[in-house]
Homo-oligomer: A and B are copies of this chain.
Amino acid sequence: MSLLVVGSVAFDDLETPAGRRVNILGGSASYFSLAASRLHPVQVVAVVGEDFGPEQYHVFQDRPIDLDGLVRKPGQSFHWKGEYGQDLGEATTLETHLNVFADFHPDLPQGYRQASCLFLGNIDPTLQLNVVRQMATRPRWIALDTMNFWINGARQALLKVLKEVDILLVNEAEARSLTGERNLLKIYEKVQLLGPRILVVKRGEYGVVLLTPQGHFLAPAFLLKEVVDPTGAGDTFAGGFMGYLAAAPDTDLETLKRAVLMGTVMASFTVEQFGTGGLQSLSDNALHGRLAALHELMHVAAR
C-alpha cells in the first residue's frame, strides 16, 4: 500500500521580493513527495537529466521516498524561470525549458502498480490517463492537479482522465476556466458531472475550500509574518493532503477535513523559504505545533 505521485522534478530559477535563487530543486513531484513522505511512504514517477546529481538525490535520502520510478535520461532536467511581484500572487514565467521532460512517458515499475493512492501532478492529461491505465488495481484515491495550459489546450484529453478521478485539486482561476462558472457551488456541480466527486479549491493566502457530497469545509491559510517564495505551495499542499489520506484508515468527510489542514500547514512551511528549503528543515515539533496553532485560529468553543 503506497502513495504514488507522477509529476515533474526540475530546477528552478526564482526571483521574489525577498531575493533570487538559481538552479534550485523544484518541480511538483519534489514538493509533493517531501511533504507527503512525512506521513506515508511515497513512490515517485518522474524524469530528470544528467544535471540531476548527488546533491539533488541527497534531498530525498533518509526519507520514505522510493525513487525507482525517477528515470535519469541523457540531457538536461526540466528548468523553469519565474518571478513574483510584491503581492506574491501568480508567478510570471520568464523561461521554460522542458528538456528531458519533453519526451516524458511515465512507465510505472511493477511495484508501483498496486499503490493505494495516486496523485496525478500537473502534466499533460494524456500522460495522466496513461498512468491511470497502468495501475493493476484501482487506487482508493485518485487525485489530479492541472492548469489553464491544459484546460484550454488539451481539454478533451483532460475531460477523459477526469472521468477516472476522485478528487480534483485546482486553484480558483483553474476551477473557473474548467467549468465556465464563477460561483464555487456552481463550479462544484459542474465538476461532479465531469467525474470527480470531491473538489479542493486552493485560494492561496485565503485558504482552501473542500467540497464533497457529504458536506463542505472552509479552511483558512495559516497567518504568516513573512512569505518568501510561494513556489511549490500548491504541490506541497497536495503532498500533505494526499499523505494524510494515504495514512488514514477512513475516507469520510472528517478525514478529508484533517487532510486539508495538514496540507495547509505543510504549505505554510514551504512559502517561508526558497524552494524546498522549508520542507527540508521541517521538524515534527514545528509541524505539530503549527497544526495546533491553525486549529486554534479557526476554533470557536461549543456553546
Residues of A within 8 A of B (CB): 86-87, 182-186, 203, 206-207, 209, 215-218, 220-221, 223-227, 254, 257-258, 261, 295-298, 300-301
Contacts and interface: CB of A to CB of B under 8 A. Distances in A.
A225 B258 contact: no
A168 to B, nearest CB: 17
Nearest to A295: B300
Contacts of A209: 223
Given A206-B206, A207-B220, A223-B218, A254 B184 contact: no
A87 B182 contact: yes
B206 A216 contact: no
Contacts of A301: 254
Given A223-B184, A223-B185, A254-B300, A207 B218 contact: yes
Contact of A300 (B203, B224, B257): B257
Nearest to A296: B215
Nearest to A225: B185
A207 B209 CA distance: 12
Nearest to A226: B183
Contact of A297 (B87, B203, B206, B218): B218
24 contacts: A183-B224, A183-B225, A183-B227, A184-B223, A185-B223, A185-B225, A186-B225, A203-B206, A207-B218, A207-B220, A215-B296, A216-B223, A216-B297, A217-B297, A217-B298, A218-B220, A218-B221, A218-B223, A218-B297, A218-B298, A254-B300, A254-B301, A295-B300, A298-B300
